[in-house]
Structure 1
Amino acid sequence: MMLKDPFVNERFEPDLMWFVGVFDVYDREESKGVELEVYDPNDQADRNILIKKYCLNQPYLSYRHKLALIENLEVVLKDPSFDFQMIFEIDECEANSWPREEWYSLESPRCFFQDIYQLAKEIWKEDLLMAASEDKSAW
């Protein structure tokens, strides 16, 4: 058994893009882009709103997906050399874009993910406990 991706019949890879991919506004600049451009990801209050409203509010993620994501995030946060800015870099050949210029060079991309981690531990607490109580080999 293995934990499946919520969208395709493949193994779930709990990479950090699951948290920030929700801010991609490519081809939706007039709708989602307008909705998101009012928030400054470098502002603590705005960042908390962004995380709660978007990063942690993904109904297609099961409690098991949430635990896998948080465990992966915990590992990378412990690595002082991990380059969090690379998550926000978009190759010019990719069809992706961020809602504001600030997203391309955050003041502290590590802080952004630390905030995700702290808020997820609170908001997803029950889901994380439920998933942690299971035998992962049965997923």
Structure 2
Amino acid sequence: MTPPPDSREGAGRWHRTFLGEKEQVRAARLFVKTHLPDHLDAELIISELATNAVEHTRTGQPGGLFTTTVKRNPDGTAYIEIADQGGPAVFGLPTPNREGGRGLYLVTALATAWGFKGDAAGRTVWVELPPPAP
């Protein structure tokens, strides 16, 4: 199954659907870099969110998909979101002695705000970014 190409929703807003495979995280980073080239942290953030979707939701199962949306606002701020196919995963604090589980700390440090909505049937994680540094 091939996801559709980038879609433009309106001025400064794009979305694209990706296969729920680890290799597609790189494609999601490129998509974000293409549309938000001056927001250098956006690549790191989308990498974390896409990886979480593939590893911790039904998106990572055969036939799974995730959708990335980016929006460039007139004031220089940006908005990113990842919509996945849900699952039993919950957001929480990292476990000591575990190698992973700290990516959302990075998102918190780099974003103006972030959050999630949805449930086990499907979640959307969103991030607001400040204007890029001069």
TM-score range, shorter chain: under 0.3
Q: Which structure is higher in helix share? A: 1
TM-score normalised by L of structure 1: 0.27
Bigger Rg over Cα:
1
Q: Which structure is higher in strand share? A: 2
More relative contact order in 1 or in 2 (CA 8 Å, sep 6+)?
A: 1
